[in-house]
Structures are given as C-alpha cells and as structure tokens.
C-alpha cells in the first residue's frame, strides 16, 4: 500500500486533532522579509551582540544609546513588513476551531497582524512593538517611543517614574518571562498535535518545547528548511518553506474538515 504524501498526512492529523499548538521561529519571519539576526545582512552583522546584554543595558548609558539606535533600525523594518501564508495558516487553524495557541520565538507582532487573537499568541521572547518600564512596568507602544526618539531623545525614560524603558523583547542575559513559559507548558500538556514551523530548534529553553509536547502524548510535526536536532523524535518532518508548505496543508485540511 502506497504511503500517504506528507502534506496529506499532516492535513489528516489536523482534521483529527482537537487541540493544536503551532510553534513558530525565525523562518516564518524571514519569509515576510525580516532577516534572521544571525544571518548575513542581519543586525549582528552591523552590531556587536555583546553590546546588547541585559546587564549592559541596565548599567551603561553608552550601551542604552547604541541599543536604541539599533532598535530604531529594527522598528523601521518591522513597520514595513506584512504577514505571509504561514501566519495566515495559523489564523485558518483558529477558524477551524482546533488551535490551542501559537507559541512564537518571533517578536514582530505579525501573528496578531494576520488576524490571530492576542490571547492565542504566547510570545516567549517578547514583542518589539511594545515597550515597558523596568521599574514600574508602565507600558507604551513602540510608535509612541519612536516619536520621542525622532524628537531628539537618545535614551527614552518613563514619564511616570523616570525609570529605564525597554522593548518587551528578551535580551541576552535577561530572564525568560516566567508567566509566558508556565502558560506555554500548561497548554502543551493539553495539546494532541504540535507543529513546529520555521525554527531550527537550537535556542534554549524554547527548543525543548517540542520534546515536552511529544512526552505529553502529542504528535510532533516539523516544517523547516533545514534539519533540526529533533527530527528523529518527530512523527513527520517536511523540509521546505514555511509559507508554501502550510498553504498546501491548510488547503487540503479545509477540504477534509468541510467534507
């Protein structure tokens, strides 16, 4: 008997599933035109990542000025990109009433822009378009802070308490958000299908999540351009572009669910 094609298999598993978690990484963002920080032409080609450790940000005015200069460049990029078919596939899964949540390593807000409800997105590395005070936790939009920077402020400070402001992204040396990690862990215990899209699964502790889901009894599917350390643990691996693969998967799954 001929083995079903990978696209067909994933589509059938989606149709059968009740609680799907999608885990997205940099490969999803790059298809919208956001370079991987580590890739040629990425931010770490032009800036030394050593300068952006959290403790340096907190302790050095020079590092804070450099950070905000870098972030102004990133902000310009983030406001020019649009969601791609991989983001839209996650929205379709939610419309199928099968999506438990999306856990994302990305900080670009594109899942929400694609139409996914914010409560369905767990941003374990934060969001570059939101800014928080490190002292009182007052919140601002990144657009508001951009106005301050363009008005001449090199290091914006909290208007409420005078504390340091920083985008809610997780910097090198900064603790992962406990609440987000706990929420992700709790949801993983309930899911029956865990789909990794566009992640090399090498950044820890996030990279351990597929193993947690698998250990909890979920099927594990990995969609990525290149091999990952978890390919041998997956129930199915598809090598390809995230958007192209997921567009095909959703098209087929829609037929199965409708019929």
Give the residue numbers marked as catalytic.
125
Look up tokens 């199928």; give the residue: 96
b (16+ CB within 10 A) / e for 45-75 = eebeeeebbbebbeeeeebbebbbebbeebb
Rounded Cα gap, residues 174 and 202, in angstroms: 18
Tokens coding 30: 């790059």
CB-based burial label for 115 (10 Å; 0-12, 13-18, 19+): middle
- H or E, element range at 102: strand 99-104
Q: At what angle do helices 242-258 and 85-95 cross, to 10 degrees?
A: 20
Cα–Cα distance measured from residue 95 to residue 177, given in angstroms and rounded to the nearest whole number: 28
């Amino acid at each position: 008997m001929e083995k079903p094609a990978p696209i067909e298999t994933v589509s059938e598993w989606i149709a059968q599933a009740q609680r799907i978690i999608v885990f997205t990484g940099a490969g999803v963002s790059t298809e919208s035109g956001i370079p991987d920080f580590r890739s040629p032409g990425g931010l770490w080609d032009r800036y030394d990542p050593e300068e952006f450790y959290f403790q340096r940000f907190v302790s050095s005015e020079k590092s804070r000025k450099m950070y905000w200069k870098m972030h102004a460049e990133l902000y310009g990029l983030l406001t020019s990109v649009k969601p791609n078919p991989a983001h839209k596939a996650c929205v379709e899964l939610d419309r199928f009433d099968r999506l438990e949540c999306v856990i994302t390593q990305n900080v670009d807000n594109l899942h929400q822009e694609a139409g996914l409800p914010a409560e369905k997105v767990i941003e374990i590395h934060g969001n570059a378009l939101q800014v928080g005070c490190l002292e009182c936790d007052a919140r601002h939009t990144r657009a508001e802070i951009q106005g301050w920077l363009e008005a001449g402020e090199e290091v914006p400070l909290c208007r409420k308490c005078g504390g340091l402001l920083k985008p809610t992204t997780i910097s090198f040396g900064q603790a992962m958000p406990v609440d987000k990690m706990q929420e992700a862990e709790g949801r993983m215990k309930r899911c029956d299908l865990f789909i990794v899209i566009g992640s090399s699964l090498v950044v820890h502790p996030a990279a351990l999540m597929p193993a947690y889901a698998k250990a909890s009894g979920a099927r594990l599917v990995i969609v990525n351009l290149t091999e990952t350390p978890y390919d041998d643990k997956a129930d199915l691996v598809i090598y390809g572009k995230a958007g192209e693969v997921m567009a095909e998967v959703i098209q087929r799954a829609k037929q199965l669910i409708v019929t």
